[in-house]
Amino acid sequence: MKKHSLNTKIKKPYIGITCEVQKLKYGFAEFELTCDYRYIQAIFDAGGLPVLIPITNQEKDLSLLLDNISGIVIVGGADIHPKFYNEKIRKEIKPAYRGRVKFEIQLYHLAEKKKIPILAICYGMQLLNVIHGGTLFQDIQSEIKGTLNHQSKRNLFHKVEVQKDTLCYKIFKECSFPVYSRHHQAIKTLGKDLKISAFAQDGIVEAIEKPPYIVGVQWHPEQQLTDPRQQRLFRYFVNQARAKKS
């Protein structure tokens, strides 16, 4: 009798999702990993099979894991310590767990080498920029005059302007739409080989890309699961992963 693998039967790609490290009042609970379920639901809804990726320093095992994963989501998180882009830390910074940052840099390089599609969200987009040699505004409000309040707890939505002749325009098929976006850091200098694909109305970078299979968005598409535009983003990503799997 001919045997079929699970992947062959269901024809759905496995999508790796990174995890945050549980934040304590002082420091981090290093052995407690968390993941907002909405990332998981977004992948299910788009036709993928989500798999959480633990933080590890076992590069060989991580490489083997990636041989069975067809796409990666780098989720949101806290601030990237400016040491990763050779700047001094400002008082407004609340750094993410460094072990996570180092791990995801390693993960990105392995995934890029294997040409695995990547969707980087919020902190993930900023990390993508840093990995490619870019820098960040550590605190938008204190470094740039006249911007929107990107940290507002009242007005969590603002519009983004998608640039034509970009992968993001191909995905969203619209030039302007509202997004759920809350952050206090932003791209300052763009990393090598990356392209800006969307801005906020105040000029803050809201999306970058490295076509055809790497996209970073500053907003949180997983918090707009019923929005057809954000559904298009996840579907495009999962479809790219499915094509990679086949």
Residues 31-65 have pLDDT tens digits of 789 999 999 999 999 999 999 999 998 989 999 99
Residues 133-181 have pLDDT tens digits of 999 998 877 766 655 554 555 667 889 999 999 999 999 999 999 999 8
Q: Looking at residues 14-43, what average pLDDT do you find?
A: 88
Q: Which residues does the annotation mark as catalytic? A: 122, 220, 222
- Per-residue pLDDT band for 3 (boundaries 50, 70, 90) equals very low
- For residues 179 and 222, what is the distance between their CA atoms, to the nearest angstrom? 11
Question: Does residue 50 sit in helix, strand or coil?
Answer: strand
Identify the pLDDT of residue 10: 57
Identify the pLDDT of residue 51: 97
Identify the pLDDT of residue 8: 47
Q: Could you tell me the CA-to-CA distances from 168 to 50, 98, 122, 185 in Å, in that order?
A: 23, 30, 15, 21
> What does pLDDT average to over the chain?
90
- For residues 243 and 41, what is the distance between their CA atoms, to the nearest angstrom? 21
- Per-residue pLDDT band for 243 (boundaries 50, 70, 90) equals very high
All domains of the chain in start order, with CATH: 13-245 (3.40.50.880)
H/E stretch holding 28 reads strand 28-34
